[in-house]
A and B are shown apart, each in its own frame.
Chain A
């Protein structure tokens, strides 16, 4: 009896351990494969030149620039909105009030909506509704400027998608600001608003930064929302205004590996582009993890 019990126990530990180490193994394997396939192509020239010869040669510079502008505009819109929501949630409303509950429910729902639905929304709302009406008002008859896919609409769609990421991260940081600091500020005669601007915000700046970085990492990796809101297959020039289309790293990986005229020949480019995308999200994620770790350590002291 005792022996069989021990054997069962060992079996369970082995099984669960196998699952855990299986996951680690898969992560290492995926990364290894992509590094092995892509590192040969990863040169400075690859990163800084445009695709050439019908996208069978050359680099990915326009895709890098496009991704950069996409996440930049996205952050400019998304980070302030997310930060304000988080501050309002933690500073102004009681946690059990219906306002807090419904905002929280909305944020969780937003986080659970499939990314392709955000793409549809970007098309149906930003392009077909907002853009078309802007064109009706501001653009000469018969021309389309805003009523078509472009980097502005793609960025706004992405900002909406990454909003929950920012909110969750900032809220954690705002809550970590010691209560005594707020009370000291209020006791000195500062108003609530002054306390938030002078005490709460500066003390949660790492959290805001972490939220922004995580959002950028998520935004750089998502492709489904920009499939039909602004990403372009190939563009001879870089985006110069908000109504331009753009190339993007993730989208580049997708089209190169599924719709390229010669998938075999461009395998190197595909691996290298994937590697760039992977390294980018890694660098972002790890700096966010480090910042969060640093923040938690500081708040414990």
Chain B
């Protein structure tokens, strides 16, 4: 009995694909290159950590003598002096102050602007906002730093009668210019991907436009807004050039946001060029780098794993 199989040439029915060396090699080569990102993440951790290792195992030393990792609890950051001190507290406070100022300003502004363009704005305003955000996101940080240093600092000093021209407040506001596009873009995206039915249901129940946007859309977009917050925070905390140019770079321990500060990132940027290679100061700068890496890595991991995967499912249901 002739089955269907007999009518088809046997060659085409071979279940085993022919061995194609080129295909095989090509795929493996591509895979190898594709793993470069993962490979380098690991290398970054290893090699930034490697240069700070002497501190951890206790072989680091400066002109005075051995320097252990405990010295990060010194009272001040004075690595270049007769009695070097390596206290990170002043730098951590500096980073926190600038980040706080920038986030307090950037987060509400960016979220409200995103709400405006995704719900209230007429079409022409949307069309105007898109390139403006692209331009702002494209500003090199050194340009924002330069603007803050030459223009913003003088304006703020005159308006608020500040004692110091460059301070945490000026730096923070300048920094927010770099953070706003990130928060805005992620937040607007997360509002725009909400199902249309959500909006329509809210309107059908008699809610106004602003009630819908504030009490329906914004809560539904919470995971995205949270992710936007985390990404903005990471950028603000790690940004170097803007704070290096606009915060005055004095390692003070004080709660006043109108005093100059020295952030962790700016310290690396300012001091690495003049440091003695292999010296405790050098190791310490790399240790600060490890801290920045770990911080940004954890922020990203939280944004990835918790926000994108879990919260989104919970907030959106099975839509």
Contact = CB atoms under 8 A, between A and B. Distances in A.
B210 A9 contact: yes
A13 B210 contact: yes
B289 A19 contact: no
A155 interface: no
Contacts of B51: 120, 123-124, 128
Given A23-B109, A278-B143, A117 B48 contact: yes
B44 interface: yes
Which of A30, A34, A222 is most buried by chain B, counting CB atoms within 10 A of its CB?
A30
B150 A227 contact: no
Which of B48, B110, B237 is most buried by chain A, counting CB atoms within 10 A of its CB?
B48
Which of A113, A217, A282 is most buried by chain B, counting CB atoms within 10 A of its CB?
A113
Given A110-B40, A124-B47, A34 B296 contact: no
Contacts of B244: 254, 258
A243 interface: no
Given A17-B120, A112-B300, A281-B140, A258 B245 contact: yes
Interface string A109-135: 110111111111101110011000000
A151 B126 CA distance: 42
A277 B40 contact: no
Interface residues of B, number: 88
A112 B235 CA distance: 7
B67 interface: no
Contacts of A250: 140, 142, 241
A259 to B, nearest CB: 10
B186 interface: no
Interface of B is mostly: helix
B311 interface: no
A12 interface: yes
Given A106-B41, A270-B150, A23 B132 contact: yes
A52 B120 CA distance: 54
Contact of A124 (B112, B146, B269, B286): B286
Contact of B238 (A115, A164, A270, A274): A115
Contacts of A128: 51, 277
Interface in B113-134: 113, 115-117, 120-121, 125, 128-129, 131-134
Contacts of B159: none
Contacts of A37: 150
Interface stretch (A86-94, A173-181, A234-242): A86-94
B73 to A, nearest CB: 22
B265 interface: yes
A251 B245 CA distance: 12
Interface in A1-32: 5, 8-9, 12-13, 15-17, 19-24, 26-27, 30-31
Interface stretch (B24-32, B55-63, B194-202): B24-32
15 contacts: A12-B214, A20-B113, A30-B143, A103-B38, A109-B301, A114-B240, A121-B43, A223-B240, A227-B269, A228-B272, A253-B146, A254-B244, A257-B149, A257-B245, A258-B149
A72 interface: no
A103 B113 contact: no
B138 interface: yes
A112 B150 contact: no
A160 B43 CA distance: 12
A193 interface: yes
A81 B33 CA distance: 6
Given A114-B240, A223-B141, A109 B147 contact: no
A108 interface: yes
Contact of A114 (B23, B129, B138, B292): B292
Interface string B86-123: 00000000000000000000001110110111001100
Nearest to B299: A112
B177 interface: yes
Nearest to B29: A84
A163 B43 CA distance: 15
Given A107-B37, A124-B286, A285 B115 contact: no
A105 interface: yes
B41 A110 contact: yes
Given A19-B116, A116-B269, A121 B44 contact: yes
A235 to B, nearest CB: 15
A33 interface: yes
B209 A9 contact: yes
A115 B241 CA distance: 9
A72 to B, nearest CB: 18
B140 A220 contact: yes
B319 interface: no
